[in-house]
């Protein structure tokens, strides 16, 4: 299993929200590129990057997203507001390894099928769930669809996986629902990534034993509740990294210079975390 730090973009910053609600923002860092760099330096080989403004319909961080993708050497999965081919293709062209689609995948199964066929193994479907029901449009609208029905619907597409987010737990650092997450993994024909509430090493061990392909880490990592060194050592995917990972050894060819280090106290980009 892989643990991927979340790099959630809002208004050009890297933020962490509680329950996905923009009015409940607990972490705000002014330099998302430096944050991505920091997670890579700590040993995380995969990043989960979301454009919250695009998901919520409150704006767009596409240019910043593309800069994150071209500067980080990490594997990336990217979501939020991917509701058309143009944005999907632009993000894959900019270096995203996988794209995550929610709202339009629910609304337009034919579009999802076409997208998945055009990019086999690179499209993930977001199943953002509250009370067993799938949500759309930045978690602001319920669909009436049960997650088990959605998983059943997806069965025959060449998807990279499913991202299941427990919206009620997101940002609360209160742990996962072990029964519901294990049931989601069992019900999916695809690799399952779990997000929302992952807060302890026990949560991660449970998810690994349940057969989850990955876990997205947000608030627990940014607040230091989870020790990033230990998590990266066990689930960062570090064994795949080259032994000599000098400054640009594993960078994409298009990668630009190294951003500022968010650890440095003189770094103006830092307002809080990563821990
Ligand atoms: O925090 C939120 N309010 C939020 C969020 N993190 N709303 C949507 N998302 C993420 C989903 C998924 O990865 O978890 O955005 C993606 C889906 O976006 P869209 O625009 O395809 O529905």
60 is catalytic: no
* pLDDT score recorded for residue 155: 83
131 is catalytic: no
- 246 Cβ contact partners less than 8 Å away, ≥ 6 residues apart: none
* 112-115-119 Cα angle (round to 5): 135
* Catalytic residue of the set 51, 128, 166, 203: 128
- 55 Cβ contact partners less than 8 Å away, ≥ 6 residues apart: 79, 80, 81, 102, 103, 137, 138
Nearest CA-CA partner of 258 in 27, 54, 249 = 249
User: Is the beta carbon of 191 within 6 A of some atom in ligand 1?
Assistant: no
CA dihedral 80, 81, 84, 85 (to 10 degrees): -40
Helix (H, G, I), strand (E, B) or coil at 148: helix
- Per DSSP bridges, beta strands 214-217 and 192-195 are parallel
Index of the ligand 1 atom closest to the CA of residue 104: 21
- 182 Cβ contact partners less than 8 Å away, ≥ 6 residues apart: 206, 210
- Whether domain 2-237 has CATH 3.20.20.70: the reply is yes
Burial class (CB in 10 A: 0-12, 13-18, 19+), 28: middle
Contact predicate 113/106, CB 8 Å: no
DSSP classification of residue 15: E
* pLDDT score recorded for residue 240: 57
Determine which residue's CA is closest to atom 13 belonging to ligand 1. Answer: 79
One digit per residue, the tens of pLDDT, for the chain of length 275 reads 999 999 999 999 999 999 999 999 999 999 999 999 999 999 999 999 999 999 999 999 999 999 999 999 999 999 999 999 999 999 999 999 999 999 999 999 999 999 999 999 999 999 999 988 999 999 999 999 999 999 999 988 999 999 999 999 999 999 999 999 999 999 999 999 999 999 999 999 999 999 999 999 999 999 999 999 999 999 999 655 555 444 444 444 333 223 333 333 333 333 344 54
Quick one: which H or E segment has residue 18?
strand 13-18
Nearest CA-CA partner of 9 in 65, 47, 57, 72 = 65
User: Is the beta carbon of 43 within 6 A of some atom in ligand 1?
Assistant: no
Q: How far is CA 133 from the centre of its chain?
A: 20
Q: In angstroms, rounded to a whole number, what is the distance separating the alpha carbons of residues 31 and 14?
A: 7
Domain locations in the chain as residue ranges: 2-237
């Amino acid at each position: 299993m892989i643990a991927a730090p979340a790099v959630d973009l809002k208004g050009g910053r890297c933020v962490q929200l509680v329950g996905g609600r923009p009015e409940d923002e607990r972490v705000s860092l002014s330099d998302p590129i430096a944050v991505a760099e920091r997670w890579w330096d700590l040993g995380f080989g995969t990043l989960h990057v979301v454009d919250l403004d695009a998901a919520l319909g409150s704006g767009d961080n596409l240019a910043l997203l593309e800069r994150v993708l071209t500067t980080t050497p990490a594997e990336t999965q990217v979501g939020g507001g991917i509701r058309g081919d143009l944005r999907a293709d632009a993000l894959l062209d900019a270096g995203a390894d996988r794209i995550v689609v929610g709202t339009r995948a629910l609304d337009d199964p034919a579009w999802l099928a076409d997208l998945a066929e055009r990019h086999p193994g690179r499209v993930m479907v977001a199943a953002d769930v509250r009370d067993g029901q799938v949500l759309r449009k930045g978690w602001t609208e319920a669909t009436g669809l049960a997650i088990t029905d959605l998983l059943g619907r997806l069965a025959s597409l060449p998807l990279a996986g499913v991202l299941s987010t427990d919206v009620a737990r997101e940002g609360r650092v209160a742990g996962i629902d072990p029964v519901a997450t294990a049931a989601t993994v069992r019900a999916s024909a695809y690799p399952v990534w779990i997000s929302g509430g992952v807060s302890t090493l026990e949560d991660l061990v449970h998810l690994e034993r349940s057969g989850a392909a990955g876990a997205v880490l947000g608030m627990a990592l940014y607040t230091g509740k989870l020790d990033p060194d230990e998590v990266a050592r066990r689930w960062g995917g570090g064994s795949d990294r080259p032994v000599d990972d000098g400054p640009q050894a594993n960078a994409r060819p298009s990668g630009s210079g190294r951003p500022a280090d968010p650890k440095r106290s003189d770094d103006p980009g830092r307002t809080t975390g990563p821990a």
